[in-house]
Amino acid sequence: MNKDKNNKTRCTKNNYQLTAEQVAGIVGCSVSYVKKIRSGAVNMESKLAKKVLSVDTIAESGKSLLIQEIEKLVKLPA
């Protein structure tokens, strides 16, 4: 059985902290537009694309900060 490794999927490779639906609700655009931005199918220089990318960046950095604060509060045994 030979699997074709060149099959393209519609899902993005990155693991985003927020779903496309959540980002679309925050930014005020459609879910499909968020998915297109994340896959790189649209111009990344537009105002809306920059907003979507900013929300994704803030969500990722917020998660990192939250993990750091939890580690400070709870000293996990090594």
Query: Which pLDDT tens digit goes with each residue over 20-32?
Result: 999 999 999 999 9
Give the pLDDT confidence score for residue 14 in this predicted structure. Answer: 72
Query: DSSP secondary-structure letter at 12?
Result: -
Count of CA atoms in the C-beta half-sphere (13 A) of 78: 0
Of residues 36 and 2, which shows the higher confidence score? Answer: 36
Distance in angstroms (rounded) separating the CA atoms of residues 8 and 2: 16
pLDDT band at 77 (very low <50, low <70, confident <90, very high): low
pTM higher than 0.85? no
Mean pLDDT of 36-64: 90
